[in-house]
């Protein structure tokens, strides 16, 4: 494809932020293409309960409904993986199959969870094994909780959860020993501290506990894991974008990066990336892009 008829905007990634941006732009009668390879963290969510107007929705329902909605407004969708984005007069968005050109790009390719190798993890993932306290902390309320991690972040998470959701907490750290003052504070708060690596989750329909590599069985009903995630944004490396200390893309209040015309929403940009927040920021980015097109 040549650049004689570029898209007004190409959206990379079909999560809540990208789809909401595409929806807004399509309703401004802009020519929009969504490039999405499939998958994504939101699709794996089994309980989204903090999206206003949806008492309970699965991530799959939210995303598939979003794709149907943007199609109804004429958004083009291609199931392709983006390999590179370049900027000259226009943006060139490359995929292994085909290259596309656009005036603006909204990057919304999210992140991939760092999942440890634990037997039976798939059975309980997003049901009783959670990775986001903002998203699913409420689901630990009053339950026997294990927090897994390998950094001070897991320790801080334990203190936060104790204040909000449950007092029955066991913190299991792998290859990390917290400072003495933190160990003392954990004891004072009644948070049980153990060291080891979870190797197997046990239970049928309900989680009953986990086996550690030490041979110990630790009973629990829910797990909060603090192993972080990997940003899915290597395809933007040629743009040399400004980033913060944890490599997230820094953006303006409208979501625009240090590369004019390139916007970022969701997990790859600074700030919270819950579904409803990403969607709102996608709308903000779309409105700003439309205003810039009107001024051309």
Element counts in the chain: helices (H) and strands (E): 7, 17
What confidence score (pLDDT) does residue 2 get? Answer: 55
Q: If DSSP codes are grouped into helix, strand and coil, which group holds residue 203?
A: strand
What tokens appear for 230 in the block? 């990997």
Euclidean distance between CA atoms 207 and 198, whole angstroms: 14
Identify the pLDDT of residue 39.
Answer: 86
- Does this model's pTM top 0.75? My answer is yes
Residue-level pLDDT at 1: 47
Q: Which fold has domain 7-112+229-295?
A: FAD/NAD(P)-binding domain (3.50.50)
| Domain ranges across the chain | 7-112+229-295, 115-226
Cβ atoms of residues 29 and 8 within 8 Å: no
Q: Is 139 helix (H, G, I), strand (E, B) or coil?
A: helix
Instruction: For 266, list phi and psi in degrees, rounded to 5.
Output: 80, -155
Q: How far apart are CA 29 and CA 43, in angstroms?
A: 28
- The DSSP letter of residue 287 is H
Rg (CA), the chain: 21
Render the burial of 37-55: b for 16+ CB within 10 Å, e for the rest.
beebbbbebbbbeeeeeee
C-beta of residue 170 within 8 angstroms of C-beta of residue 147: yes
Query: Quick one: which of 219, 262, 295, 294 has its CA closest to 21?
Result: 262
Same topology, domains 7-112+229-295 and 115-226? Answer is: yes
Per-residue pLDDT of the chain (296 residues; tens, 9 = 90+): 456 789 999 999 999 999 999 999 999 999 999 999 998 899 989 889 999 998 899 999 999 999 999 999 999 999 999 999 999 999 999 999 999 999 999 999 999 999 999 999 999 999 999 999 999 999 999 999 999 999 999 999 999 999 999 999 999 999 999 999 999 999 999 999 999 999 999 999 899 999 999 999 999 999 999 999 999 999 999 999 999 999 999 999 999 999 999 999 999 999 999 999 999 999 999 999 999 999 86
Closest listed residue to residue 132, CA positions, set 153, 108, 107: 153
Does the structural domain 115-226 have CATH classification 3.50.50.60?
Answer: yes
């Amino acid at each position: 494809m040549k650049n004689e008829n570029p898209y007004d905007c190409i959206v990379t990634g079909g999560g809540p932020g990208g789809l909401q941006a595409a929806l807004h732009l399509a309703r401004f009668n802009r020519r929009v293409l969504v490039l999405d390879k499939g998958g994504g963290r939101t699709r794996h969510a089994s309980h989204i309960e903090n999206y206003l107007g949806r008492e309970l929705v699965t991530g799959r329902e939210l995303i598939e409904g979003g794709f149907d909605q943007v199609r109804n407004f004429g958004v083009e969708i291609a199931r392709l993986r983006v390999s590179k984005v370049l900027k000259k007069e226009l943006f060139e968005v490359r995929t292994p199959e085909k290259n596309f050109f656009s005036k603006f790009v909204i990057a919304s390719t999210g992140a991939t969870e760092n999942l440890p190798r634990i037997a039976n993890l798939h059975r309980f993932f997003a049901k009783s094994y959670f990775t986001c306290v903002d998203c699913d902390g409420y689901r630990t309320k009053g339950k026997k909780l294990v927090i897994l991690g390998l950094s001070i972040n897991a320790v801080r998470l334990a203190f936060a959860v104790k204040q909000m959701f449950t007092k029955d907490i066991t913190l299991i750290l792998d290859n990390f020993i917290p400072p003495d003052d933190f160990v003392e504070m954990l004891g004072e708060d009644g948070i049980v501290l153990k060291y080891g690596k979870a190797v197997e989750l046990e239970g049928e329909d309900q989680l009953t506990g986990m086996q550690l590599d030490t041979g110990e069985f630790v009973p629990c009903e829910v797990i909060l894991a603090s192993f972080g995630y990997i940003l899915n944004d290597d395809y933007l490396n040629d743009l040399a974008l400004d980033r913060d200390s944890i490599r997230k893309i820094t953006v303006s209040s409208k979501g625009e990066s240090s590369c004019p015309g390139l916007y970022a929403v969701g997990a790859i940009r600074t700030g919270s990336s819950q579904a409803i927040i990403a969607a709102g920021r996608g709308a903000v980015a779309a409105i700003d892009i439309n205003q810039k097109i009107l001024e051309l």
